Amino acid sequence: MTRAAALAVGVLLLAGCTTTPPDAGVPLPPAGAGFDYQLGGGYALSDGVTVVARDSTDDPVGGSVYDICYVNGFQTQPGEGEHWVDEHPDLVLRDADGAPFVDPGWPDEFLLDTSSAAKRERIAALLGTVVASCLTSGFDAVEIDNLDSYSRSGGALSLDDAIDLAARYARVAHDLGLAIAQKNGAGDSARFRDEVGFDFAITEECARYDECADYVDAYGDLVFDIEYDGGYLADACDAVGNAVLRDPDLTTPDSPEYVFDTC
């Protein structure tokens, strides 16, 4: 990340978390465009794919492709939990025994403690630099994952906590000229759009869980869905206009587990 980008993040966070509206003048993904979800590692795009999401540690495709940068905004990245425990111990949520609170579905990720404004400000400052690095790497947008971590916290965290932290990320992204995508939280999409300022949605298995309409009601044709069971791909395509079928581990084409199909 450049010094200028780092300084920009610092200025934005000090300015507070006023929501930037969804029509913030940032470049949005083309509606109905071919989509791929490459968090397990980048690879050559299939014909017709012009929107792709990759991890923040990966390189964007560039050119005419709309590149989305994945950031785990409410939990630690796999392999980084102990770093957070060592360097920022009070920002990791604890269970009743004082141990880091583990996401039940992702045992290598710890929930971040978003329970106070002071903690949310510090988390946003730390991960805001990752958002800024997405810009300097050449991405067009950021995807902030695990917005719904609060729902797995045993009541320690709240929806309002999540909205406040997400709004801080949105402020940083928009003021750097990046769009920002909602990920998770289907039932509260209207609140997330209006109070956070999300521009579009990246969804996982919205057809399988009958959530596509919630996202479409909020974002229209700017919904990009990933399904992991081929039996739901056609329904997802009908519901959101564009979807991709991937294998659950999001492997690359050199893996025997690799799966890719689209509408």
Instruction: Encode the chain (263 residues) as per-residue pLDDT tens digits.
Output: 444 444 444 444 433 444 445 555 899 999 989 999 999 999 999 999 999 999 999 999 999 999 999 999 999 998 899 999 999 999 999 999 999 999 988 889 999 999 999 999 999 999 999 999 999 999 999 999 999 999 999 999 999 999 999 999 999 999 999 999 999 999 999 999 999 999 999 999 999 999 999 999 999 999 999 999 999 999 999 999 889 999 999 999 999 999 999 99
Alpha-carbon separation of residue 223 from 67, 106, 132 (angstroms): 15, 25, 24
The confidence score (pLDDT) of residue 25 equals 84
Instruction: State pTM to two decimals.
Output: 0.91
Does residue 251 sit within a domain? Answer: yes
Does residue 26 sit within a domain? Answer: yes
Number of Cβ atoms within 10 Å of the Cβ of 220: 13
Q: Scanning the structure block, which residue is given the tokens 């509206």?
A: 21
Q: Are 34 and 107 in contact (CB under 8 A)?
A: no
The confidence score (pLDDT) of residue 24 equals 59
Q: Scanning the structure block, which residue is given the tokens 């590692």?
A: 41
Residue 38: phi, psi to the nearest 5? -120, 45
The confidence score (pLDDT) of residue 181 equals 98
Does residue 87 sit within a domain? Answer: no
Does residue 92 sit within a domain? Answer: no
The confidence score (pLDDT) of residue 230 equals 97
What is the rounded (10 degree) CA torsion for 234, 236, 241, 244? Answer: -80
Q: Scanning the structure block, which residue is given the tokens 């990920």?
A: 183
Does residue 147 sit within a domain? Answer: yes
Our count of domains for the chain comes to 1
The confidence score (pLDDT) of residue 7 equals 44
Does residue 198 sit within a domain? Answer: yes
Does residue 96 sit within a domain? Answer: no
Alpha-carbon separation of residue 13 from 61, 161, 237 (angstroms): 29, 16, 38
Q: Give the CATH number, domain containing residue 227.
A: 3.20.20.70
The residue range of the domain holding 9 is 3-74+114-262
Q: For strands 243-246 and 223-227, give the pairing.
A: parallel
Per the DSSP assignment, residues forming a β-bridge with 103 are 106
Q: Which residues lie closer than 8 Å to 121 by C-beta, 6 or more apart? A: 13, 168
Q: What is the CA radius of gyration of the chain?
A: 17
Q: Are 214 and 187 in contact (CB under 8 A)?
A: yes
Does residue 58 sit within a domain? Answer: yes
183: helix, strand or coil: coil
